[in-house]
Amino acid sequence: MDISLTSGVRAALTSIQQTNAAAQEAQLHLATGKKVNSALDNPSNYFTASALSGRANDLSRIQDSIGQAVKTLEAASNGISSISKLVETAQSLANQALDTTDTATRTKLQTQYNQVRTQIDELAKDSGYNGVNLVKGTPDNLTVIFNEKTGAAQSKLAITGAALDSAGLAVSDAATLDTGTNGAGWAHATNGTTNINASLTELSAALTTLRTQASTFGANLTVVKNRQEFTASMINTLKTGADQLVLADSNEEGANLLALNTRGQLAQTALQLAAQRDQAVLRLF
């Protein structure tokens, strides 16, 4: 058997149901901080925000890779700086040897020179970061990816390593420069001065090579850091844009909930009044 409600009661009941539904929605917005929680709320905003957030997440992962590339380049640059200091030390030793004709002194300086040369090799081997070394004897190369795309649309920078050990810099063993006389090198009685000058020529060329490569890596580092900053800004832009589409204004939602609660109370009062009118009719019988 169907129960018929008077128009006043039905109107008040409908108002209560609508108010409760709206209040529940406002409470959800306040609880989640979002005004769009699913595609049912606003399909356009929901899917657009999801796409923006997805790209921001992709760029965040790429930003981590860019950060590692920065450290790799910094390690290589630090290595070049230290190798340059060793080459300058070697130059000082060669100049000291040039200032004397004493064979014993030249032999001692030659030994020190070769020790510095060995340290150049060791330093070049230790200038890597996370398994990538751009300056060792057989250098690694580095490719830095800047966006989330693939194929021709992918933005990247290819960095070629350079062998900056003693062999790569063409800095010879001082003791073997004069191979025609059993490799006496700097200490050779006749050709010692010529051999020292040959070492100085090699060292001068090595410094030129180091400075050129330092400039190249410096330019690469500037590009990578610039892209790192750009990527950070782009991630912030994407996240802000996504938030604008789905986040709720807590102040507005709080005010809405307060108004809905007040409306609900008024609807309850209206329902009671409508019921009282029906009871008044019954009292006539």
Span 57-104, pLDDT tens digits:
999 999 999 999 999 999 999 999 999 999 999 999 999 999 998 989
Reported as a single tens digit per residue, the pLDDT across 163-205 is 999 999 999 998 887 755 556 788 887 888 989 999 999 999 9
pLDDT score, position 159: 95
pLDDT score, position 183: 62
pLDDT score, position 47: 87
> Taking 70 as the threshold, does the pLDDT of residue 27 lie above it?
no
Secondary structure in 3-state letters for the chain: CCCCCCHHHHHHHHHHHHHHHHHHHHHHHHHHCECCCCCCCCHHHHHHHHHHHHHHHHHHHHHHHHHHHHHHHHHHHHHHHHHHHHHHHHHHHHHHHHCCCCHHHHHHHHHHHHHHHHHHHHHHHCCCECCECCCCCCCCCEEEECCCCCHHHCCEEEECCCCCCCCCCCCCCHHHCCHHHCCCHHHCCCCHHHHHHHHHHHHHHHHHHHHHHHHHHHHHHHHHHHHHHHHHHHHHHHHHHHHHHHECCHHHHHHHHHHHHHHHHHHHHHHHHHHHHHHHHHCCC
Among 156-160, 189-193, 212-216, the minimum mean pLDDT is found in 189-193
Domain 62-237: CATH superfamily is f41 fragment of flagellin, N-terminal domain (1.20.1330.10)
pLDDT score, position 150: 87
pLDDT score, position 1: 45
pTM: 0.74
* Residue in 122, 109, 123 with CA at minimum distance from that of residue 174: 109
pLDDT score, position 44: 85
Where exactly are the structural domains of the chain? 7-33+250-282, 62-237
